[in-house]
Every structure is written in structure tokens, then in C-alpha cells.
Amino acid sequence: SNPRGTLHVTPTAESDAKAKARPSMTAFIGPLSEYRVYLSLQGSALIKTVTALQEAIDAGDLSAAQAAYLPARAAYQRIAPAAQRLSELDNAINARADYYEKREQDPGFTGFHRVEYALFEQHSVEGLSPVAQRLQSDVTQLKKQLMAQSLAPDQLPAIATRTMRSLADVRSNGAQASCCRRSTRQPPTWTPR
């Protein structure tokens, strides 16, 4: 379809070597530093929003707790890819009911999903203060541990890849999508997983 003929591009040894070369480690210094600042800022935001959630629960104010839940959950979602490297804390903060033998009634069921179940399915803050206090403690510890860990340069693209795969899974099968679409005006429909 080109009136001047066909263009043939052949790689040279130099262009082939450049295509196969990995970036130098110094190329990651800036992005890694930026990501650490991002984690620090988002970790602080998470602590602040979970504190607001805990205060509403401790005050016994269901509507304030429901309104505070979404910002706290969203703050966690922003650092979740990095938090997954700390599986014990991630499981305490983000484990779903189906991870437990007795599901919602299991005493080990804590974290955001436990708070969500109480606020939006049971419509109650009764007995939720210890869960909220533990969540507060866990997110504070999460930030400390994230800041104490070093991040290898190859983990930065791995985190981005894992995040994109996770988003693709959410979009394709709807897993955990309900908390991403919540409006503070309308409580979510509880669907145990």
C-alpha cells in the first residue's frame, strides 16, 4: 500500500544490545525515593482515616462510622500492593470472612472486612471498639514496617505488575469491587465471599 515500496528495518548489534539491556540500578533511585515518600504520605493518611473511624465507633455513632469507613478503606487500598509484602499484617487488616472456619462469627475475623460487616450488614457498632482499636494498631505497625523495609529496584515494577493484575481481576470477576464503588450516601450491600 506504500507507493515507494516496502521499508525493511533490520536491527544492528548495538540496537539489539540496547533492547535487551536492563536499566542500571541508578535509574531506579529517583522512582524508589518517590515511592517511599508516597508510602509514607499514604501511610499517614491511612492512620488518620482509621483514627477517625475508630473515634466514631468508640463514640457509638453508626452513621459517622459508616461515613468514615470508605475513606479509611480507600487509604488502605492505595498502599495495599506494598502491604502485601507483609502478609501477617495484611491478613490482619484485610482478610475476608471466607478465610475463617466460622466466617463472620470467627473470633479471629478482624480488620476492614469485619468492620464493614458490622457497619453495613449488622448496622451496629456494638462490640466493635476492640476490632477498631486493633485495626488502628495494625495500620500504625504497617506504616512503621513499610518504612523500615528496603525496597529492591526490581520490586518496583513487580508491584506495578501485581497491581495491574489485581485491577484486571477485580474488573473481570467483581471480586472486592463493591468497596471501590461505594458511595458514602448509600451503604453497600453485604455479600460474604
**Mean pLDDT in the chain?**
85
d(CA 74, CA 179): 8
**Looking at the predicted structure, is the pLDDT value of residue 178 above 50?**
no
**Looking at the predicted structure, is the pLDDT value of residue 192 above 90?**
no
For residues 4-12, average pLDDT? 85
End-to-end CA distance of the chain: 55
The pLDDT, as a whole number, for residue 31 is: 86
**Looking at the predicted structure, is the pLDDT value of residue 47 above 90?**
yes
The pLDDT, as a whole number, for residue 166 is: 76
Name 67's Cβ contacts closer than 8 Å, sequence gap at least 6. Answer: 56, 184
The pLDDT, as a whole number, for residue 176 is: 54
The pLDDT, as a whole number, for residue 87 is: 87
CB-facing half-sphere around the CA of 104: CA atoms within 13 A:
14
Secondary structure class of 7 (helix, strand, coil): coil
**Can you give the residue ranges of every domain in the chain?**
34-179
For residues 92-101, average pLDDT? 89
Which segment, 70-79, 92-101, 148-157, 166-175, is predicted with the most confidence on average? Answer: 70-79
Contact status, residue 128 vs residue 61, Cβ threshold 8 Å = no
One-letter identity of residue 178 = S
Number of residues in the chain: 193
For residues 95-123, average pLDDT? 91
For residues 31-43, average pLDDT? 93
Fold of 34-179: A middle domain of Talin 1 (1.20.1420)
